[in-house]
Copies of this chain bind each other. A is one copy, B any other.
Amino acid sequence: MKHKIKNKYDILKQKIYIIIYGSNTFAGKLFDLVLLGVILLSVLLVMLESVERLDSKYHTFIIVSEWIITVFFSLEYALRIICNKKPLKYIFSFYGIVDLISILPMYLSFFIPGSRVLSMVRALRLLRLFGILNLMHYVGQESHLKLALKASRTKIIVFVYFILIVSVLLGALMYLIEGKENGFTSIPTSIYWCIVTLTTVGYGDISPSTPLGQSIASLIMILGYGIIAVPTGIVTAEFSNLKRSKLDSKYKRNCPTCTTTIFDEDANYCYNCGQKLPNVYTK
């Protein structure tokens, strides 16, 4: 009899698993969308709480809502662990950690006041949308982006390292030229200014005022203008490349004898076994 109950319990676990983790059934999709809505609501609530004017008016309402949502998230987290056959794998996965961090700050707020703001980390849960909309599956898109970024990663790290060294040198130079009286209060501040300028952000909280400083700043800007072309060039070349190799595979055929894949449109003979090829293209 105990076996029977356990079986029922197993079936329930299985059902919950499908609803919580899956998004192919109606219930699963509904759960995902409701969850996403609640996450969005919860992020908005934490955001609004930080707005003094709104917080003073609706403080109780916001706090109560946040607690309700946190309890809901806690239950969901518990269910995710219980109904999963490999709970540890979930707990230490990216989403498992994010889910835990999403509920902790609220409980911590009993001991450390103000830690509630950390609930903002819930925004990371919104990344689940890609999974729900099958955009993860949309391999041609997601992986394209990732492949291009992966291929250009080393180049971009080298580039950023180089930019940082340039910023340190130019920052120190501007500190010498402009000096404390013109807002370049220290070398770190000057380096901050240099990055603000090189990236063309240009807040204007610090800006050169001596003629020499303005001249060098102009050079830095034109440098930054040219420099922006480099990461763009790297990433674009990778994208174009991925695109092309995909395009090239348009005329892909398989050799009927040795099953080698042939990309050349003009091929008459299999380049692997020398077999005459049929002229039927797989589009």
Interface set of A (CB-CB < 8 Å, partner B): 43, 46-48, 50-52, 117-118, 120-121, 123-124, 126-127, 129-130, 135, 138, 141-142, 144-145, 148-149, 154-156, 158-163, 165, 168-169, 172, 175-176, 180, 185-189, 191-192, 195-197, 199-205, 207, 209, 211, 214-215, 217-218, 221-222, 224-226, 228-245, 247, 258-277, 279
Contacts and interface: CB of A to CB of B under 8 A. Distances in A.
A229 B187 CA distance: 29
A117 B176 contact: yes
Contact of A154 (B141, B260, B266): B141
Nearest to A54: B186
12 contacts: A46-B172, A118-B176, A141-B154, A142-B158, A188-B211, A195-B222, A196-B217, A201-B221, A240-B241, A262-B271, A263-B264, A266-B271
B158 A130 contact: yes
Nearest to A158: B135
A15 to B, nearest CB: 31
Contacts of A225: 199, 228, 231
B52 A185 contact: yes
B247 A245 contact: yes
Among A148, A221, A273, A276, max chain B CB count under 10 A is at A221
B230 A233 contact: no
Contact of A229 (B50, B154, B234): B234
A274 B270 CA distance: 7
A243 B152 CA distance: 12
B274 A266 contact: no
Contacts of A168: 43, 47, 120, 123
A221 B204 contact: no
Contacts of A127: 162, 165
